[in-house]
Chain A
Amino acid sequence: MNSSSKLVLYNFSHSSCSWRVRFALKLKGLDYEYKAVNLVKGEQFSREFEQLNPLHYVPVLVDGDVVVSDSLAILLYLEEKYPQRALLPDDHQRKALNLQVASIVCSSIQPLHMVTLAKRIEEKVGPEEGILWALSIIEKGFYALEKLLKDFATRFATGEELYMADMFLAPEIDTVAKRFNIDMLVYGLESCDRDRSAYPILSRVYEAYKTVPEFLAASPEAQPDAVFFTPPA
């Protein structure tokens, strides 16, 4: 356990990218100082934050003299600097699988359903189109993940232990389910047969995540700045 709080995490309670890093920090047993950056109030554009990350994104990790932005870059940094409770398996195939899942979520799914992009589509195409767009992205991405994980998922996405893939999947599934009011167990089906979810693997691992204390402790509602945020209608 890291006894000094030298790690500082600039993040926002309801940012799924921030959640990924919080989850990893808690799994690795790393103490950190929580610095809230309220994205709704535009605090990412403050002079102080701009010094840390000129791209105005959260999360940003400060570890002494080292400043790392971007959740994937941060997780890979943590994995190398603090190897306890490894987030990447040793074998090449499963390691690559974990990086592939991370990449699919953070390149093909999450950036394409961000609120800012959905709003832009609404402006260009029409109201409701933003949501339809986001749902189509999620459906496409989740079907791809189901195929990818078919031969590997057991309790969690790539096996019996939590790994990097879960750091990305857990916040993504939860955020999407809540924002779009999707019942992960039945979405996509006309029947309400809960054993026949459109996303059987993602549904199953989501239920497993909800039993993990570190996942819950890292969730948006458990963060100190959560009280200042009202999710969009």
Chain B
Amino acid sequence: MAESGESKLKLYSYWRSSCSQRVRIALNLKGLDYEYIPVNLLKGEQKNPDFLKLNPLGYVPALVDGEIVIADSFAILMYLEEKYPQHPLLPSDLQKKALNHQASNVVCSNIQPLQNLAVLNFIKEKVGPDEVIPWVQSHINKGFAALEKLLKDCAGKYATGDEVSMADLFIEPQILGAIKRFNIDMNIRFNENILSSLFYRGCMKHIVSCQHSRMLCQKISQMPHLHLSLAEPVHPEDQIFPSENINIKNNQ
């Protein structure tokens, strides 16, 4: 473990931002302590002068590691992967590594940007409030269909094999957002559909439990078993699953 005794890492994050979720999962998987600094996007806290001074773009997530400031989930994950190589997020095989980048990019270039707040407000104002959900659903469905094709020959327990890797960190928050915010039904074609089966077989749930409880998940790789019912959600509104016990095997 490379972490120091002090919480030198700081993460500026919005609880519901899928981009922030990606980074929170990575930090938890790598067993890295960090100070969580919430930035409420709906209240416009990203425009706070102190935050802008640190991060002129006003984007979340933003990671601060000593003198280094990085704002963009992909750039942050690549930085973490290099600086803190424990629990690697990328396989060493170049083909599989490339596949992870490609799957991640399907989410962060082809799906997520079409559902960010600015785009949704545009559709709501110019086309109508009733058009927002259908607009997002069509892009999500198209993106998910693309992922199904991409992952067809390599999905195992997780998206690109039997270990959690970078693609999962992009896909899982996207699936959660799709279900909770945009009414996508992951039950359709359960048996043939990779993303649905990944989700409902519980493979993603230990990742979800990580992001909902920093305290429990700070050193997830050292915990032999984790019961979902013990995980306190960060926000009461964000109770996603009915309580059930999930056994998580020790990652090491």
Residues of chain A touching chain B, judged by Cβ–Cβ distance below 8 Å, are 54-55, 65-70, 72-74, 76-77, 80-81, 92-93, 95-97, 99-100, 103-104, 106-108, 110-112, 124-125, 129, 133, 140, 144, 147-148, 150
Q: Determine, out of B78-86, B195-203, B213-221, B239-247, the stretch whose residues face the partner at the interface.
A: B78-86
A125: contacting residue among B72, B75, B78, B127, CB under 8 A: B127
B83: contacting residue among A92, A100, A104, CB under 8 A: A92
Question: Which residues of the other chain, B, contact A92 by a CB distance below 8 angstroms?
Answer: 68, 79, 82-83
Pairwise interchain contact A55-B146, C-beta atoms closer than 8 A: yes
CA distance A108 to B118 in the complex (A): 11
Question: Which residues of the other chain, A, contact B110 by a CB distance below 8 angstroms?
Answer: 111
Question: Which residues of the other chain, B, contact A73 by a CB distance below 8 angstroms?
Answer: 98-99, 101-102, 105
CB distance from A25 to the nearest CB of B (A): 16
Interface readout for B62-79 with A: 1 if CB under 8 Å, 0 if not?
000001111111111011
Question: Which residues of the other chain, A, contact B70 by a CB distance below 8 angstroms?
Answer: 93, 96, 100
CA distance A85 to B67 in the complex (A): 27
User: Given A70-B101, A70-B105, A96-B78: A144 and B57 within 8 A (CB)?
Assistant: yes
CA distance A80 to B123 in the complex (A): 41
B150: contacting residue among A55, A66, A148, CB under 8 A: A55
CB distance from B181 to the nearest CB of A (A): 19
What are 13 of the A-B contact pairs (CB < 8 Å)? A65-B95, A67-B95, A70-B101, A73-B105, A76-B98, A80-B97, A95-B82, A99-B79, A103-B73, A111-B114, A124-B123, A147-B57, A148-B57
B140 within 8 A of A: no
Number of A-B residue pairs, CB cutoff 8 Å, is 105
Question: Which residues of the other chain, A, contact B101 by a CB distance below 8 angstroms?
Answer: 70, 72-73, 76-77
Tell me which residues from 5 to 49 in chain B have a Cβ below 8 Å from any Cβ of chain A: none
Interface readout for B132-166 with A: 1 if CB under 8 Å, 0 if not?
00000000000000100110100000000000000
B72: contacting residue among A70, A100, A129, CB under 8 A: A100
Pairwise interchain contact A77-B78, C-beta atoms closer than 8 A: no
Question: Which residues of the other chain, A, contact B152 by a CB distance below 8 angstroms?
Answer: 54
Size of chain B's interface in residues, with CB distance under 8 A? 42
CA distance A77 to B100 in the complex (A): 11
Pairwise interchain contact B102-A66, C-beta atoms closer than 8 A: no
CA distance A103 to B74 in the complex (A): 7
User: Given A124-B127, A129-B126, A148-B56: A55 and B78 within 8 A (CB)?
Assistant: no
Pairwise interchain contact A124-B131, C-beta atoms closer than 8 A: yes
Interface secondary structure of B, over-half rule: helix
CA distance A107 to B152 in the complex (A): 24
Pairwise interchain contact A106-B57, C-beta atoms closer than 8 A: no
Q: Which of B98, B102, B150 counts the most A-chain CB atoms under 10 A from its CB?
A: B98
User: Given A106-B105, A111-B110: A96 and B75 within 8 A (CB)?
Assistant: yes
Pairwise interchain contact A54-B109, C-beta atoms closer than 8 A: no
Question: Which residues of the other chain, B, contact A93 by a CB distance below 8 angstroms?
Answer: 67-70
Question: Which residues of the other chain, A, contact B188 by a CB distance below 8 angstroms?
Answer: none
Question: Which residues of the other chain, B, contact A81 by a CB distance below 8 angstroms?
Answer: 94
CB distance from A160 to the nearest CB of B (A): 21
CA distance A55 to B99 in the complex (A): 13
Pairwise interchain contact B149-A54, C-beta atoms closer than 8 A: yes
Question: Which residues of the other chain, B, contact A96 by a CB distance below 8 angstroms?
Answer: 68, 70, 75-76, 78-79
Question: Which residues of the other chain, A, contact B102 by a CB distance below 8 angstroms?
Answer: 68-70, 73
Pairwise interchain contact B75-A77, C-beta atoms closer than 8 A: no
Tell me which residues from 97 to 127 in chain B have a Cβ below 8 Å from any Cβ of chain A: 97-99, 101-102, 105-106, 108-110, 112-114, 118-119, 122-123, 126-127
CA distance A133 to B152 in the complex (A): 35
